[in-house]
Amino acid sequence: MTSSDARSPGPSTAVPGHPAAVPLVGVHQVDEDFLALPLGSLADTALARADQLGASHADVRVERIRSYSLRLRDARTESMTDLTDLGIAVRVVHDGAWGFAAGMVLTARAARDLVDRAVAMARVARTASPEAVQRAEEPAHPDTWWVSAYDRDPFDVADAEKVAHLAEASHRLLAADPVHHVDASLQAVKEQKFYADSAGTRATQQRVRTAPSYTVVHLGDGGGFETLRTLAPPTGRGAEYLTGTGWDWTTELDELPSLLAEKVAAPGLAAGRYDLVIDPSNLWLTIHESVGHATELDRALGYEANYAGTSFATPDQLGRLRYGSPLMHVTADRVTPHGLATIGIDDDGVAAQSWDLVRDGLLVGYQLDRSIAHRIGSVRSNGCAFADSPEHMPLQRMANVSLAADPQGPDVAGLVAGVTDGVYVVGDNSWSIDMARYNFQFTAQRFYRIRAGRLVGQVKDIAYQATTTEFWGSLAALGGPSTWVLGGAFTCGKAQPAQVAPVSHGAPAAVFSGVRVLDTRAEGGG
């Protein structure tokens, strides 16, 4: 890529020469109007100024992030937003300290001024910190292009079409007897990023993500209510996801009213210990909270303590901590097709990779950016730096963190058949976890009683509770590849000032033995 010619060479692999890169399976290239911005010349100007001022490292990000949100209540539009965030960020290491500055003006003069401000900030930071910044090595990735795999840009779809689609589904749900209200929503993001650094990396990237959702509500005669939400996860796909690519919306929406009616009439369950068959629609969130955040190295080292804290999984236990049963194999990656954290190059200039976090039940890895990698002697970051806007400095953020299926494992019915007295857990809901990512509690959208290897109906008002190592140590069986589903979160929060990041978590259905189950109605005094 040159400063005067920032044009995509056409469909290609994500990162040339990088075998773990995600192939381009969609139909899009980087938008021409983004490429028409003076990306290369801004980077050349800023990097030259940083070198002139004696910075040992500098990087430049030009980003345009478009965020869309649509909400309907009972098939009527309640709110709609369409926001664009455009700007430039400059980061430097000067005299061993970080400096950062950002702005919205995309001119050469503004770029030089940002470098001056970043260097000035580094000089102030150096007086406050005796410890010099050191970063793990990474080869340069020049002229890199990457576009996520989607078929239809959601921002090319007219608002009226999106409203009509959500309204039609809402009317269909409202026509069913147990449904009194329907909330429908759609979120979509297009993230475009140009990154250049003083080591020679230049990367132009574009990714799209989409999150539709429907919630049905039943109002009881005594003033109480029950709700049920669709299980479809947010995804790194485009508007094609709304109409059935990647998810069977027809079946799920058709079944939702009867599932709600069953939940309304469902009994409670006595507190105790039960074998749980946990569906991936619920297990992804348990992975996120008890494994994903716990294996962020900045948390494990105590450098990050916001949004529920640090981590019990400290580096002195690497290779020794029995995280779970020998069946537990958890990987992290930034390459899974349609993953929300999938990229080509991170905001440290590091190429996307995959690696193990927990292997055979033992803690064997962490999520790293280049600065934090150096602190444990890692020769390379695994590409976990991300900033959620051009106004923010990159943080170490979560990769796609997933539990592997058993290659010869059964389907869900097969897992249930092996349980004598238990509960089948479906869909994510509320949760709570302590500051060390150790003690936790999770609820669900639906719970089903299991007796003698058969589902015998829904139960409700329960939660499962454990410590992280107790829970994962009770992992007794994994479903096969047919049960594996990629769930995830659109907006995982971290840091102050707060940033959000999208992240996916794949999981099979799985059996956990003897897990503590609470009667939440009794616990709440109801």
Non-local (6+) Cβ contacts of 45 within 8 A are 108, 111, 112
Same domain, 142 and 284: no
DSSP helix/strand/coil, 440: strand
Q: Alpha-carbon distance 259 to 277, whole Å?
A: 18
Q: Render pLDDT for 234-251 as a digit per residue (tens, 0 to 9).
A: 999 999 999 999 999 999
Same domain, 338 and 283: yes
Q: Render pLDDT for 180-224 as a digit per residue (tens, 0 to 9).
A: 999 999 999 999 999 999 999 999 999 999 999 999 999 998 778
The helix (run of H) or strand (run of E) holding residue 165 is helix 159-174
Q: Render pLDDT for 160-181 as a digit per residue (tens, 0 to 9).
A: 999 999 999 999 999 999 999 9
Q: Render pLDDT for 452-508 as a digit per residue (tens, 0 to 9).
A: 999 999 999 999 999 999 999 999 999 999 999 999 999 999 988 899 999 999 999
Nearest CA to 205 out of 19, 345, 361, 340 is that of 345
How distant is the alpha carbon of residue 385 from its chain centre? 13
Structure-token pair, residue 172: 């269909």
**Torsion angles phi and psi, residue 40, rounded to 5:** -65, -40
Residue recorded with tokens 């990367």: 203
* CATH number reported for the structural domain that contains residue 168 in this entry: 3.30.2290.10
Single residue among 230, 265, 300 that ends a domain in this structure:
265
Q: Alpha-carbon distance 268 to 53, whole Å?
A: 68
Same domain, 316 and 242: no
Q: Alpha-carbon distance 363 to 311, whole Å?
A: 13
Single residue among 265, 295, 311 that ends a domain in this structure:
265
| Phi-psi category of residue 308: left, alpha or beta, with phi > 0 → left and psi -120 to 50 → alpha | left
Same domain, 279 and 216: no
Domain enclosing residue 404, as ranges: 272-523
Same domain, 113 and 214: yes
Same domain, 106 and 250: yes
Same domain, 349 and 236: no
Q: How many CB atoms lie within 10 A of CB 463?
A: 22
Angstrom CA distances, 509 to 55, 355, 410, 441, 461, stand at 50, 22, 9, 19, 22
Residue 2 belongs to a domain:
no
Residue 140 belongs to a domain:
yes
Q: Render pLDDT for 303-360 as a digit per residue (tens, 0 to 9).
A: 888 877 899 999 999 999 999 999 999 999 999 999 999 999 999 999 999 999 999 9
Same domain, 222 and 284: no
State which amino acid sits at residue 247: W
When pLDDT is averaged across residues 30-59 and rounded to a whole number, the result is 97
| Phi-psi category of residue 223: left, alpha or beta, with phi > 0 → left and psi -120 to 50 → alpha | left
Q: Nearest 5 degrees, angle CA 388-CA 20-CA 67?
A: 25
Same domain, 484 and 374: yes
Q: Render pLDDT for 248-292 as a digit per residue (tens, 0 to 9).
A: 999 999 999 999 999 999 999 999 999 999 999 999 999 999 999
Q: Is 177 exposed, middle or buried (0-12, 13-18, 19+ CB in 10 A)?
A: exposed
β-strand partners of 395: 386
Q: Alpha-carbon distance 199 to 431, whole Å?
A: 43
Same domain, 233 and 366: no
Residue 105: is its pLDDT beyond 90? yes
β-strand partners of 129: none
Number of domains in the chain: 2
Residue 178 belongs to a domain:
yes
Residue 16 belongs to a domain:
no
Nearest CA to 342 out of 88, 136, 150, 138 is that of 150
- 272-278 and 421-433: which strand pairing? parallel
* pLDDT score recorded for residue 130: 78
pTM (2 d.p.): 0.93
Residue 17 belongs to a domain:
no
Structure-token pair, residue 12: 């290609």
Residue 23: is its pLDDT beyond 60? no
The packing angle between helices 249-265 and 159-174, to 10°, is 40
Same domain, 288 and 256: no
Residue recorded with tokens 């290897």: 453
Residue 5 belongs to a domain:
no
Residue 431 belongs to a domain:
yes
Same domain, 235 and 285: no
Judge whether 402 and 369 are in contact, CB under 8 Å.
Answer: no
Single residue among 265, 280, 311 that ends a domain in this structure:
265
Q: Alpha-carbon distance 316 to 336, whole Å?
A: 30
The number of residues making up the chain comes to 526
What value does the mean pLDDT of the chain take? Answer: 93
* pLDDT score recorded for residue 374: 87
Residue 27 belongs to a domain:
no
Judge whether 282 and 426 are in contact, CB under 8 Å.
Answer: yes
Q: Is 83 exposed, middle or buried (0-12, 13-18, 19+ CB in 10 A)?
A: exposed
β-strand partners of 211: 187
* pLDDT score recorded for residue 98: 96
Angstrom CA distances, 42 to 3, 88, 104, 495, stand at 8, 9, 12, 29
